[in-house]
Homo-oligomer: A and B are copies of this chain.
Amino acid sequence: MDIALVGIGKIAVDQHVPSLKGSSDWDLAATVSRSGTVEGVEAFTSFDEMLEARPEIRVVSLCLPPVPRFDYAAKALAAGRHVMLEKPPGATLAECIALEEMARDKGLSIYATWHSREADKVAPAKAWLADKTLKSLHVTWREDVRRWHPGQDWIFEAGGLGVFDPGINALSIVTEILPDPIHLQSATLSFPENRQAPIAADLAFFHPGGARVTCDFDFRQEGEQTWSMEARCEEGTLLLTNGGGNMYIDGEEQGEHHSGLDGEYPRLYAKMAELVRSGGIDMDLRPLRHAADAFLLGRRSVVEPFEF
C-alpha cells in the first residue's frame, strides 16, 4: 500500500523511513514537510497539494508535534484517508475523541500509536504479570532532554508535555502490562521558572489490589540514562529495562538482549497495515488520559530555569 509521511523531522528519519523501507506492506510514496525530504520520494511542502495530487495514496502517517496534529488528521480523514498518529495522538483528549468519531463516521482506520508498547519485552512482561499478585510497580524514566530533544523548544511550550513526552511512553507500557486499571492519586510536577511544561514529575497511582504504583520522570538526567520499571509481585520480581527492550525475572535475563527501539516502528506499521485491511480503529487514550490527570491533579513546584 502507498503511504505518505507528514513531518520529516528526527523521529521520521530515524524510525519511520527505515521501517517503511524495510516493510513488505508499505511503499513510501510521498512526504510532506517544510524542509525535510527523503531521497527518491516525491516531496510536498503543502499537505493540501499532496492530498489533491496523489489520490491513490490512501494512508497518511503523521509525525508532527502534537499541537498542529489535529488539523492534519482532520483534513486527511475529510479527504478519505486512513490515519496513523505518532504519540501522543493529540494535544487534547477531546480532539482525539473527535478524530475517532470522524473516522468511524467515514469508515476509515485511525491508529493512535504508542511505540514503546511494541518494545521487545512488553508482550512477555504482560504475559508474566497476568497471573501474579502485584505488590509494587516503580517506574524510573530519567533522560537528558538536551541529548534526546536538542533545541526542541516546543517540548517546553504549553501543550508540549515536557517530561511527559518520554514519560507517556512509560505510561503506555504500564497501562499495557498491568491487568488492573489504575488512576492517579497524587502527583508533583516540577516546572522550570521560565517554561510552560514540567521538567520532572513524581506520580503515585491507586491500584485496586492495594499495590504501590509510582513513577519518577526526570528530563535532567546526565550520565547514565534510565528507562526501566520494576514490578514486585508475591511470586517474584520483574524488571524491564532499556524502555522495555530487556526483561529480568528475579535478576535473570529473559530472552534475547536488545538495545534501543529495535522492532518498535516496524511492528507499528505492521499493525497499521492490519487495521487498514480489517477496517479497524485503535485509539487507546489511556496514556494521554493519565498525563492529563497529572496536569489536572498534580501539585506544581517551581524549579530553576532551563535553557538548552
Contacts and interface: CB of A to CB of B under 8 A. Distances in A.
Interface string A261-299: 000000000000000000000000010011111011111
A298 B181 contact: no
Given A196-B299, A295-B295, A297-B158, A93 B94 contact: no
Most buried by B among A98, A101, A208: A98
A70 B93 CA distance: 22
Contacts of A291: 296
Contacts of A290: 94
B292 A296 contact: yes
Interface string A79-100: 0000000000001111101100
Interface residues of A, number: 33
Given A101-B181, A206-B70, A94 B289 contact: yes
A9 to B, nearest CB: 21
A184 interface: yes
Interface of A: 70, 91-95, 97-98, 101, 158-159, 181-184, 186-187, 191, 196, 206, 208, 286, 289-293, 295-300
A181 B102 CA distance: 11
Most buried by B among A92, A101, A286, A296: A296
The 7 tightest CB contacts between A and B, nearest first, are: A94-B183, A92-B293, A95-B183, A295-B295, A292-B292, A158-B299, A159-B297
Could you say how many copies of this chain the assembly holds?
2
A196 B300 contact: yes
B297 A184 contact: no
A233 to B, nearest CB: 21
A205 B191 CA distance: 25
Nearest to A182: B94
Most buried by B among A94, A289, A300: A94
A205 to B, nearest CB: 9
Contacts of A181: 94, 97-98, 101
